[in-house]
Amino acid sequence: MKILVINGPNINFLGIREKHIYGSDNYDTLLNTIYDYAKYRNVSVECFQSNCEGEIIDKIQDAYLKGVDGIIINPGAYTHYSIAIRDALASVDVPKIEVHISNVHAREEFRHVSLTAPVCTAQISGLGIYGYKCALDALINILRSKL
């Protein structure tokens, strides 16, 4: 089982930016959490981060062509305005889980609208980096139920 985790803009600045919102764990801690949990769950995971919309779209398309089984995506700010990332996600027929470290629904009103969530299987929000473990569990359960 191959799962791709995509992190969008500014996720690489975890532990640096707005600690009162995103916590003090840094990006390396997030990556280690994901890789360790994937190993524990016996799945293959690749993590990718970009601050560039086009690179994220290219990664989604490339992953699909290479046979990825599922995608976890934290589009960051692109969640709220990237029709292009939304369309890329809609074009790939694999389960997709949108993750947000903070509870976007308890924040500024513009963060309440996700253009990407409607083309994803589910959305996890507000659980910190633990949300990525929840997303991995969800994808594994979805994918195993298809077998």
Instruction: Write out pLDDT tens, residues 59-92.
Output: 999 999 999 999 999 999 999 889 999 999 999 9
Instruction: State which amino acid sits at residue 5.
Output: V
What pLDDT, on a 0 to 100 scale, did the predictor assign at position 147? 62
Active site residues per annotation: 22, 100
Question: Is residue 139 packed enough to be buried (19+ CB in 10 Å), middle (13-18) or exposed (0-12)?
Answer: buried
- Residue 120 and residue 24 in contact, taking contact as beta carbons nearer than 8 Å: no
What pLDDT, on a 0 to 100 scale, did the predictor assign at position 100? 94
Distance CA 96, CA 5 (A): 10
pLDDT above 80 for 20: no
pTM over 0.85: yes
pLDDT (tens digit per residue) in 95-122: 999 999 987 776 778 777 789 999 999 9
- Residue 134 and residue 127 in contact, taking contact as beta carbons nearer than 8 Å: yes
The four Cα atoms 22, 25, 29, 31 give a dihedral, to 10 degrees, of: 10
